[in-house]
């Protein structure tokens, strides 16, 4: 418990003890009223102040106003001997108990988010004149050299230039296993250096670093409201004034009817007591507190698993997902391409690889990197001229003045070069030298270990269709799709084709079913934005992912997609349970209160009891079952 919660608990205990003691004393009249006023003010002074401020600010109708009117009214009825001061104080007492439960529950769910907030670095170590100086991360520019010692947070994104160490990334990914980092590795802010000193050259300013973007994402998540939250806000604005006027009518109209219409005693005290009971029952705390808390707990529980949901509206959309569309490379596969076959006419393997690596040297595509890796030597770009990249086909260039073309079958057809079909599964890079076919290179991507299990988990979670989109050749795409158990696969797609295919799938699905697109976030921003909900995975360090996606998975394990959907469905299920339970109980007890059957104690249960049950139900979202 924090200091504020402990103070509230103390007020609750003191008030409860005073009620018990005062009930035993043989006192009556104004003395009794004066003594009972002490525990009433101890437990309820803040509610009375909030109600007064609400009236002063012309925002009258809220739960503080309802509590103040109901309890002050009950105390006044007690003066005339028609009520019990204990009931009035008990209303305040149990209301504050409900508030304490709610505060504790929010703290519990906030803890998961605050653990994530702990990734914010306090300082950066910069070496000056042979000594380490601690400076604000905001003061460190791009290209600066920083030192990160064991146990310290990495304050900025950069590249390791000296040292090897293990990194704790659990605050970002939810994974407890450390990651090994060596010279040349990119390293992102928010990780904790565990074993050895690292010297890092920064690649981003603090404001653009991964940690800053993640913190901004989490801090703004609560501003994006779901339809359920909007409904509750609108409901409370109409509901609260309505019940106030209804209570007023209940206090005035029946006595007047009895007096003028039936000639009977009006019995004002009885009807006022009923009206006050009606006010206590009608307080919308259970809905106003538990619904936002459910979403807050859902976002907190997801963040603990390394799943960042940008708002409760996305949580709601995610829960309705029935179609999941995957980009292949970097999402279902590791995006690590390796040359595993070279077929040529009369040219040596090494020479064909050399030409391929040089002609592809200007590209940052993983296939280009795999060719450069297979070449194994430093690339001399001065040997390459007249480079032309043809989207969806390949690259042509001159290497040492020799015309070289590297690409797929479309490029060979475009250049009117007769090529040899390759029946091996993989990405085929056809090569042409001076207009003649020289052979082809086979490159394969590696499927992630958990991809097949992730698809099975999605099917188990009720996903109707899993679809894979890729720019790879049909044979490669179908081989990967079959091994993973995909329902549909679309191959040989250009980047623009992926958007068109997602739009096509959006048009054929039912309106209630939502479509999620899962990509690596680097070049999938248009598709992530077009889908009902965009999920970027393996997003550590990817600005595009954090900006474009609605849900960000901080590591590259695809099984977390099913976990994210399960968390969202559990969250929405609890929201609906609380709505039905709270409205149902209140309606029943409101009718009983209007009929004079329900007393103030039953009203307390209808308000505080229902609130506590709803809050306890809401915090169940925090507990995520292991898949």
User: For 8-30, how does the pLDDT look when each residue is reduced to its tens digit (9 = 90+)?
Assistant: 889 989 998 998 898 888 887 78
Number of structural domains the chain divides into: 4
Single out the residue in 414, 446, 478 at which a domain terminates: 446
Give 349: exposed, middle or buried? Use CB within 10 Å, 0-12, 13-18, 19+: middle
Do 574 and 611 fall into the same domain?
Answer: yes
Q: Which of 157, 327, 524, 532 is catalytic?
A: 327
C-alpha torsion angle, residues 63, 68, 69, 74 (rounded to 10): 130
Q: What is the spatial order of strands in the sheet that 333-344 belongs to?
A: 333-344, 436-447, 427-433, 402-407, 394-399, 384-390
Query: What value does the mean pLDDT take over residues 449-454?
Result: 90
Answer whether residue 34 is part of any domain. Answer: yes
Query: 3-class DSSP state for residue 122?
Result: coil
Query: What value does the mean pLDDT take over residues 265-293?
Result: 75
Do 37 and 93 fall into the same domain?
Answer: yes
- Please give the residue that has the higher pLDDT: either 297 or 488: 488
Residue 194 contacts residue 168 (beta carbons within 8 Å)? yes
Residue 468's domain spans which residues?
307-332+448-554
Confidence grade of residue 218 (pLDDT, cut at 50, 70, 90): low
Q: Could you tell me what percent of the chain has a pLDDT over 70?
A: 87
Neighbouring residues of 77: CB distance < 8 A, sequence distance ≥ 6: 83, 269, 272, 273, 276
Q: Could you tell me what percent of the chain has a pLDDT over 90?
A: 12
- Is the predicted pLDDT of residue 523 greater than 70, yes or no? no
Do 69 and 134 fall into the same domain?
Answer: no
Q: What is the pLDDT of residues 362-381, one digit of tens each?
A: 776 777 888 888 888 888 88
Answer whether residue 33 is part of any domain. Answer: yes
Do 349 and 369 fall into the same domain?
Answer: yes
- Please give the residue that has the higher pLDDT: either 289 or 7: 7
Do 268 and 312 fall into the same domain?
Answer: no
Single out the residue in 446, 475, 490 at which a domain terminates: 446
- Please give the residue that has the higher pLDDT: either 44 or 171: 44
Q: What is the pLDDT of residue 487?
A: 92
Confidence grade of residue 627 (pLDDT, cut at 50, 70, 90): very low
Do 423 and 453 fall into the same domain?
Answer: no
The CATH number for 421's domain is: 3.40.1110.10
- Is the predicted pLDDT of residue 525 greater than 90, yes or no? no
Do 409 and 499 fall into the same domain?
Answer: no
Do 259 and 328 fall into the same domain?
Answer: no
Q: What is the pLDDT of residue 325?
A: 93
Q: What is the pLDDT of residue 5?
A: 82
Confidence grade of residue 539 (pLDDT, cut at 50, 70, 90): low
| Range in 229-243, 246-260, 347-361, 597-611 the model is least confident about | 229-243
Q: What is the pLDDT of residue 477?
A: 84
Query: What value does the mean pLDDT take over residues 301-322?
Result: 85
Task: Calculate the average pLDDT of the chain.
Answer: 81
Answer whether residue 208 is part of any domain. Answer: no
Query: What value does the mean pLDDT take over residues 413-435?
Result: 85
List Cα–Cα distances, 616 to 286, 392, 576, in angstroms: 11, 55, 14
Q: What is the pLDDT of residues 565-620, one digit of tens each?
A: 999 999 899 988 988 888 888 888 888 877 878 777 787 777 778 878 888 888 78
Query: What value does the mean pLDDT take over residues 494-510?
Result: 83
If residue 13 lies in a helix (H) or strand (E), which one and from where to where? helix 3-24
Do 431 and 494 fall into the same domain?
Answer: no
Answer whether residue 399 is part of any domain. Answer: yes
Q: What is the pLDDT of residues 108-151, one digit of tens each?
A: 655 555 555 556 677 899 987 778 888 888 888 888 899 998 88
Q: Where are the alpha helices (DSSP H) in 154-225?
A: 170-173, 210-219
List residues bridging with 516 in a β-sheet: 324, 533
The CATH number for 521's domain is: 3.40.50.1000
Q: What is the pLDDT of residue 81?
A: 56
- Is the predicted pLDDT of residue 491 greater than 80, yes or no? yes
Q: What is the pLDDT of residue 226?
A: 63
Q: What is the DSSP letter of 153?
A: B
Residue 22 contacts residue 28 (beta carbons within 8 Å)? no
Answer whether residue 404 is part of any domain. Answer: yes
Q: What is the pLDDT of residue 109?
A: 56
List residues bridging with 200 in a β-sheet: 146, 160
Answer whether residue 10 is part of any domain. Answer: yes
Do 347 and 491 fall into the same domain?
Answer: no
C-alpha torsion angle, residues 535, 539, 544, 545 (rounded to 10): 20
* Token pair belonging to 65: 């106003």
Q: Tell me, yes or no, if 185 is annotated catalytic.
A: no
Do 320 and 452 fall into the same domain?
Answer: yes
Answer whether residue 39 is part of any domain. Answer: yes
- Distance between CA atoms of 173 and 167, rounded to whole angstroms? 12
Do 354 and 375 fall into the same domain?
Answer: yes
Q: What is the pLDDT of residue 515?
A: 93
Single out the residue in 426, 446, 466 at which a domain terminates: 446
User: Inter-axis angle of helices 451-460 and 559-594, to 10 degrees?
Assistant: 20
Answer whether residue 211 is part of any domain. Answer: no
- Residue 183: CB atoms within 10 A of its CB come to 12
- Please give the residue that has the higher pLDDT: either 501 or 339: 501
* Token pair belonging to 358: 């040089």
Q: What is the pLDDT of residue 147?
A: 92
């Amino acid at each position: 418990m924090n200091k504020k919660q402990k103070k509230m608990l103390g007020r609750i205990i003191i008030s409860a003890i005073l009620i018990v003691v005062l009930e035993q004393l043989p006192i009556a009249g104004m003395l009794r009223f004066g003594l009972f006023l002490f525990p009433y003010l101890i437990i309820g002074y803040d509610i009375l102040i909030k109600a007064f401020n609400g009236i002063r600010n012309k925002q009258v109708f809220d739960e503080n106003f309802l509590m103040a009117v109901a309890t002050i009214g009950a105390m006044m009825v007690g003066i005339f001997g028609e009520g019990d001061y204990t009931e009035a104080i008990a209303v305040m007492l149990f209301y504050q108990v409900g508030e304490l439960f709610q505060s504790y529950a929010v703290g519990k769910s906030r803890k998961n988010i605050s653990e994530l907030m702990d990734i914010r670095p306090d300082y950066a170590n910069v070496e000056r004149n042979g000594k380490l100086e601690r400076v604000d991360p905001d003061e460190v520019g791009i290209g600066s050299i920083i030192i990160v010692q064991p146990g310290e947070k990495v304050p900025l994104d950069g590249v390791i230039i000296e040292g090897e160490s293990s990194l704790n990334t659990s605050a970002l990914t939810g994974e407890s296993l450390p990651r090994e980092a060596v010279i040349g590795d990119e390293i992102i802010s928010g990780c904790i250096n565990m074993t050895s000193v690292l010297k890092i050259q920064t690649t981003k300013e603090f404001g653009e670093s991964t940690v800053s973007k993640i913190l901004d994402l989490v801090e703004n998540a609560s501003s994006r409201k779901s339809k359920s939250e909007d409904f509750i806000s609108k409901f409370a604005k109409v509901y609260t004034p309505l019940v106030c006027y209804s209570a007023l009518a209940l206090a005035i109209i029946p006595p007047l009817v009895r007096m003028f219409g039936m000639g009977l005693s009006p019995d004002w005290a009885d009807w006022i007591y009923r009206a006050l009971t009606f006010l206590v029952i009608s307080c919308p705390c259970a809905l106003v507190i538990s619904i936002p808390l459910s979403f807050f707990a859902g976002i907190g529980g997801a963040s603990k698993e390394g799943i960042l949901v940008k708002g409760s509206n996305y949580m709601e959309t995610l829960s309705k997902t029935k179609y999941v569309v995957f980009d292949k490379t970097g999402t279902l596969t590791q995006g690590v391409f390796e040359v595993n076959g070279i077929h040529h006419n009369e040219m040596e393997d090494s020479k064909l690889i050399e030409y391929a690596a040089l002609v592809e040297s200007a590209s940052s595509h993983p296939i280009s990197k795999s060719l450069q890796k297979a070449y194994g030597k430093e690339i001399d770009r001065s040997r390459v001229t007249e480079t032309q990249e043809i989207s969806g086909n390949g690259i042509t260039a001159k290497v040492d003045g020799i015309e070289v073309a590297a690409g797929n079958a479309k490029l060979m057809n475009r250049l009117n070069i007769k090529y040899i079909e390759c029946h091996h599964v993989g990405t085929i890079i056809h090569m042409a030298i001076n207009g003649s076919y020289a052979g082809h290179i086979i490159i394969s991507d590696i499927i992630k270990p958990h991809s097949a299990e992730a698809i099975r988990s999605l099917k188990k979670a009720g996903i109707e269709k899993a679809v894979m989109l890729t720019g790879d050749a049909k044979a490669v795409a179908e081989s990967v799709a079959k091994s993973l158990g995909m329902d549909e696969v679309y191959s040989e797609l250009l980047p623009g084709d992926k958007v068109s295919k997602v739009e096509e799938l959006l048009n054929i699905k039912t309106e209630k079913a939502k479509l999620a697109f899962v990509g690596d976030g680097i070049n999938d921003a248009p598709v992530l934005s077009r889908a009902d909900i965009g999920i970027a995975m393996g997003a550590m360090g990817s600005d595009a992912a954090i900006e474009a996606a609605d849900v960000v998975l901080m590591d590259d394990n695809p099984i977390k997609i099913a976990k994210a959907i399960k968390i969202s469905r559990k969250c929405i299920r609890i929201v609906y349970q609380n709505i039905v339970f709270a409205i149902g109980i209140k309606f029943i007890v409101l009718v009983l209160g209007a009929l004079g059957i329900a007393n103030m104690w039953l009203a307390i249960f209808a308000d505080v009891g229902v609130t506590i049950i709803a809050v306890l139900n809401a915090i169940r979202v925090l507990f995520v079952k292991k898949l």
